[in-house]
Chains A and B, each alone.
Chain A
Amino acid sequence: MTDPILEVDDLNVYYGKSHALKGVSLSIDEGEIYGVIGPNGAGKTTMLNAIAGFVEYEGSIRYDGADLARVSPQQIVRDGLIYCTEDRDLFPYFSVHENLLMGAQFRDDRDAVQDDLAMVYELFPRLDERREQEAETMSGGEQQMLAVGRALMSDPDVLMLDEPTLGLAPVIIQDISDALERLSEQGLTILLAEQNSTFALRHAERLSLIETGEIELAGTSAEFHDNEYVREAYVGVH
């Protein structure tokens, strides 16, 4: 049996007069990969920002039983809900290694942190080869790996990924893809927001389609595959 680890209920976000999210609800079970697809500007990032505590919202977001409205963004991170943004927000003049250490800066168990470092370097050998390189000087794909690696250093229970494949070469996407599969096998819960519907459909067990701030469709991967509208509007292009 699985419990929802993250529950979003009737989420509304306003930017001034514009209504960016209109009553979005979804629930994510422990251990699954949940995909959120939709066009650019549909509200995927806004939803993730609300969950991470970066924007004001109405409605409720519950993580591991707690109402996140009452938890500060840094406590949300400490509780294992880690957000990997579309901009990645790496520390540009820190080395790969320092960026990874920052991911674990709030953790006290040094041995576990060392184990996680070894795990990240093993997961992304490209990072291992570039330990001392400054994040700023790396390619987009390497930066994406570093962003995921830094998130993993925070020992996540739930990992939120925003557009992890955006602008990346197919060979790099494959590397990210393999990494996600391995992490998922190890029991990590992943919330994946993607414009790249093919990528999301390949990994997610369940998905939602967001358009103009509303969930238009929700269901299993198989249901999405068979859906005429999704196939024509989203999958065909890729």
Chain B
Amino acid sequence: MLGDIGTLVLQGTMISAVYALIAIGFTMIFGVGGTLNLAHGALIMGGAYVFALLSRSVHAAVAFPVTIAVIALLSWGLYQVLVRWVEENVVITFLATVVVAIASTEFVLYQFGGSPIGMTLISGAVNLEPYGINARTRYVQFVGFVVSWLAIGLLWYYITHTDDGRSVLAASMSERGAQLTGVDLHAVRSKTWLIAGALAGTAGVILGSTGGATPLMWLNPLALAFIIVVIGGIGSIKGSVIAAYVIGFLEQFTVTFVGHGFRGILSLVVLVVFLLYMPQGLYGREFAHD
């Protein structure tokens, strides 16, 4: 029992950091451009496949940053080529990103088939049995945790301590205000897509390394991002981090004490409760579109 709790805390702490990465990217794009990017999950999947392919020929330490850069550019490209032309219309943007998500899935299915492709960011595991932790914790989970928090920390510093980053947050509060202070809205939106892409790519590599790359691996993370963003408050980065931890721990709790099959149920219950009683979320105030 005690060991279960130790495992729960450890696993929850680590997986929640990755969820936070995914949710932050998702919420930033919504906060700044008002776009619900359903292709966000496809970028996560893209990260896993790009890394799987690259790591066959180069060392993982090289493949990881290259993958992040590739996915960041893909995300940026998605904005420049498609989204920026339709973003004024919420429904069309929504549908366009759904099409991109499904097309990417079909493409991956066609190219690589439906079976999981294994990949290793870092191999090996640590045995924590002597410390009362039941599960063997793999190194990749630790790396995922550290990298995720590094990314979150960098992003936090960027948006709170630099003029450039503050403009991103400012644009999510008041577009007109941002224009009045000389912010180039198009540049800010492009930057958000670039950042969200980098975060999605990072998450993709970590998720792929723990569970393998599959064509539909993006579905669950995207659904979780949705739930996390609603609970945290749409557009709020701080809220996303906190809600990611709530959801991550809930998930681990269910897996440990209820059963693997019920993994997503409790999160959905919490989502419904929030939608009914606190639709603005924990930190919904940062979402303030005029």
Interface residues of A (CB under 8 A from B): 52, 54, 72-74, 77-78, 82-85, 87, 89-94, 98, 101-106, 150-151, 154
Interface stretch, picked from B39-47, B108-116, B170-178, is B170-178
Q: Does B123 contact A (CB under 8 A)?
A: no
Closest chain B CB from A23 CB (angstroms): 27
Nearest B-chain residue to A134, judged by Cβ? B285
Q: What count of chain B residues pass the 8 Å CB interface test?
A: 21
Residues in A neighbouring B176, C-beta threshold 8 A: 85, 87, 89
Number of A-B contacts (CB under 8 A): 70
Asked if A101 and B182 sit within 8 Å, CB to CB, the answer is no
Q: A94-B170, A94-B173, A102-B170 are in contact. Are A89 and B163 (CB under 8 A)?
A: no
Residues in A neighbouring B170, C-beta threshold 8 A: 91, 94, 102, 105
A151 to B177, CA, bound (A): 11
A-B contacts, 27 listed (Cβ < 8 Å): A52-B180, A72-B184, A74-B182, A74-B184, A77-B180, A82-B180, A85-B176, A85-B180, A89-B174, A89-B180, A89-B290, A90-B174, A92-B174, A93-B286, A93-B288, A94-B166, A94-B173, A98-B166, A102-B166, A102-B167, A102-B170, A102-B177, A102-B178, A105-B167, A105-B181, A105-B183, A106-B182
Asked if B179 and A73 sit within 8 Å, CB to CB, the answer is yes
Closest chain A CB from B187 CB (angstroms): 9
Residues in B neighbouring A73, C-beta threshold 8 A: 179
Residues in A neighbouring B169, C-beta threshold 8 A: 91, 94
Query: How does the 8 Å CB contact mask read for B129-172 relative to A, with 1 for contact and 0 for none?
Result: 00000000000000000000000000000000001101101100
Interface residues of B (CB under 8 A from A): 163-164, 166-167, 169-170, 173-174, 176-184, 285-286, 288, 290
A102 to B116, CA, bound (A): 48
Q: A78-B182, A106-B182, A154-B182 are in contact. Are A93 and B166 (CB under 8 A)?
A: no
A154 to B180, CA, bound (A): 10
Asked if B179 and A91 sit within 8 Å, CB to CB, the answer is no
Residues in B neighbouring A92, C-beta threshold 8 A: 173-174, 288
Nearest A-chain residue to B286, judged by Cβ? A93
A83 to B180, CA, bound (A): 6
A151 to B180, CA, bound (A): 8
Residues in B neighbouring A104, C-beta threshold 8 A: 163
Residues in A neighbouring B285, C-beta threshold 8 A: 93
Asked if A91 and B173 sit within 8 Å, CB to CB, the answer is yes
